[in-house]
Each structure stands twice: as structure tokens, then as C-alpha cells.
Structure 1
Amino acid sequence: MKVLIVYAHPEPTSLTRQLVNETAETLSAAGHSVMHSDLYGMKWKAVYDADDFPKRANPERLSLIDEGGHAYASGNQLAEVAVEQQKLLEADAVILQFPMWWYSPPAILKSWIERVFVWGFGFGYKDGTNNYRFGAGILKGKRALINVQTGGGAADYGPRGINGPIEQLLFPLTHGALFYAGMDVLPTHAVHSTMRVSTQEEVEAIKAAWRDRLAGLFTDTPIPFRSQNGGDFPDRHTMADHVAPGQTGLAAHFADPSGA
């Protein structure tokens, strides 16, 4: 299998980067082919703007959706964007590795999604009518796994923790980007209390737990998000009354209301 590792940390000696190396070594040893997208190392452009479109469909007014779709359809995308899309097409699984900064991924990773998952590639319509999102699309069938490092402890991210459940905090990424583009998203692998990791023994224990998790990359059960085309959203916008009765908000999108 081919696996794309997308990672965002500017410090080569960070725990995040050590876990990236562990990912590559573990998957390679298991016979998988590994591709890398080191966003800081690539000096990935972190702003999505008019500079992404050297050949504009409409030079008078910038619409990122329209211009992104036009550039993709006409083959006029920036080279670095097309390269990342090709990696995604080749990959059987995608692993995102990053630290949690202000309750979200680093901006450079967010811009990777914004610039790569354009209209016609990451979302849109098929044959002009069928929704090409929330469980559908050309990335359907690919697996996605997030490995996030947090400074706070596990209790902070528990069901009643002060920060909120990790899966709900990452809902914009797991559901709003990866599942939106069609991928099967596995439960998040979080490493907590990273600011208090002080010994090599602790680092090795973290790596061992991550190796165990990687063993299930192609067998673990994905988060059971509700697809847009599966009948739970009969008008493609609002959940049917018989689905998750009594639940509202993010909890209704998870089979487990806690977001676990």
C-alpha cells in the first residue's frame, strides 16, 4: 500500500518530527510505500489568495471556489498544488501529524487543505447533480489518520474536560475536510502532556504506542460519520427526524454522542 504522511512542525528535533520518522520507518518495514509532505521543509505557501491563479477565469473579482475549480479543470494550477493532488490520488492512506495550536492544526496545514482540496478535486458535484462530498468523491475509499500532540493532559480533552473532547475539537478537520473529501477517517491518535515529556523512556513509550496504532491503519474501524448521500439527510441539508433523535450539534454526527 502507499501512504502519504503530511506533517507540520518547524523543529526537526520535536516530538512530532520524531513520530513522523517512526511512521516512515514502521510503515516501510511493513512493506508499504511512503510519500512525504513536509510542509515547513517545503516552505509551503500558507496563504490562499490570487497568487494561486496565474491564469484567472475572472480577472475582475476573485472567487476562490471558481478559480480553484477552473485552474484544476484547465490544468493551470501551480505545480506544487498539482503535485500534492497526485500524491493524494496515489495514496491508499493519508496520515496527518501535527501539534495542536490554539485548538486547531498549524496554519500551514490548514492552507494545504485549502489550496489542494479545490472544487472538482476535493468536493463538488458529479454529473452536475450528485453531491461530491461528505463521504463521496474521488478520495472515497482512502483512509485518513490524525496523530496530534497536545500540551494539555488527557483529562483536559476528556468528555467533561476543560478543553473539550479531542474528536469534537478536530471535527472541522476530520469531518469538515477529510470525510468531506470522501475519506474514511479513523479515530484520532492523540499524544497528551507533551510539554511534560522529559525522558527518553517516555519518548520510547510514546513511539511504541504509535507503532501499535499504525498496525491497524488498514483494519481499524473508521469514525461512523453520516454520509450526505446515504439517506440520513433527505434534503441534503438537515438530518432526518428519525436519525439520532433528541440529539443536536456535533454529537448527532457521531455514532457515540461523546465523540469518541
Structure 2
Amino acid sequence: MEDTIDDYVRSLETQLENKVVFLKQSRDSLKKLRQEYKDEEAQDINPDIWKAFMKKPVMYVEKSDPIGLSLADVDVYLRNESSLDWIEMMTGKEMNYCTTLKESINNQRNMNKDLSTLIGLLEQDDLETEEVEEIPVASNLLDQNQKLWDSLQLFTKEVLCKNENNRIEIYNLLKRLVKFDPLLTVSDFRISHESERLYRLLSKANLVDVIHIDNNTNSQVRLINFNDNDLS
């Protein structure tokens, strides 16, 4: 078994070295072509020629493709790990996640009810009456908000990160997500194993958008808009 693994690793290393050489040759050829034709005027592409060109394969994959197999193996491993993490989180016994979720939903419903009352009064243009003063419109928003933050902190402690050393780091990442921090990037989730696990969980559940910026290798991470009707 060890001999087979050693042969596989050597084959993979050889293939990677070959690909590096081929890529360098391709870049050198492109650079040479750009220099040769840099003074020529740009010409319109013939659609028929372009379609015929696009039908041709860019490359032929080898029958024995250790690089492709390695990438597929890593992808399957990461998918399996993130799925297990997500299942463990959703079914964890350390914290009654369903109860916390129900409380959050009830809080949101109460807030929606208060807002609906306020909107109704605004539409009736009846804000000057004494009756309005008796309606506790969003009177406990601050308390509800603090309760949600406390639930998030408890969820971080009991489920997401049991390692006390990284717990504050994970909680701060979640806070930045909730507050839509425009400076939050993918690299912020590469600090520790727990932060990488958090990123995989959020991505697996489609709870974040990754925004690619031109000329920037570090993409922004943003929480999805839960007000959007389409959360697929």
C-alpha cells in the first residue's frame, strides 16, 4: 500500500512539474505574439471561424490524470467534511438549536407585528392622536436585539467553537458578517481551523455571498440579504 502511495505522489509531482513547464512555454508564446502584432490594428472576429475554433478542445486530458484525480479527491474530502460539520452542528446535543431558532423567529414576528402597526398608522396619518402613545411600538427592540446577540454568543461557544482560544475570533467574524462589514474578506476566515470550518458551513448553507473584485485576489464575504424573496 505504501509503495502504491509513493508511486502516486511521485507521478503527481512529475505531472505538476510538467504543467509548470508547459504553462511557461504558453506564456512565452503569448508574450511573443503580442509583441509581434502590437502595432497592428484590431480586426473584427469572424463569427464562423470563432465557432469552429471553439469546437476544438483546448487540451486533451491524459488517460492517467493524477492531477485531476487529486483535485477530485480533495473536493470530495472537503464536501464530506463540511457536510459532517453541518450535520453535527444542526443535531448537536450541547445546545438546543431548535429552541433558540424558535425564539429568534418569535422575536422577529413580534418586531414585524410592531412595524405593521406603525405602518398602518402612518398610512392612516393618525400619529397625532393619544391612542398612538398607548401602543408599544418596538418598545423592546433593544432587549430583543441583545437577546439575539447573546444567543449568537452562546451558539458560538457551545456549537461552533469549543476551543476557548479561538472563540472570540469566531464570534467577531460572525459580528462582522451581521453588521455587513465591507472589509471582511475570504482571508479573514483563514486564520484558524475553526474559522475555515465556519466559512465552509456558511458556504454549504448558502448563507454568504462571495464578491470578486477586479484586480484583487482577495474576495469580499457578505451575508446574504434575508429580505430577498429568492434565497436559493
Q: Normalized against structure 2, the TM-score is what?
A: 0.24
> Quick one: higher RCO (CA 8 Å, sep 6+), 1 or 2?
1
Q: Normalized against structure 1, the TM-score is what?
A: 0.22
Higher strand share: 1
Higher helix share: 2
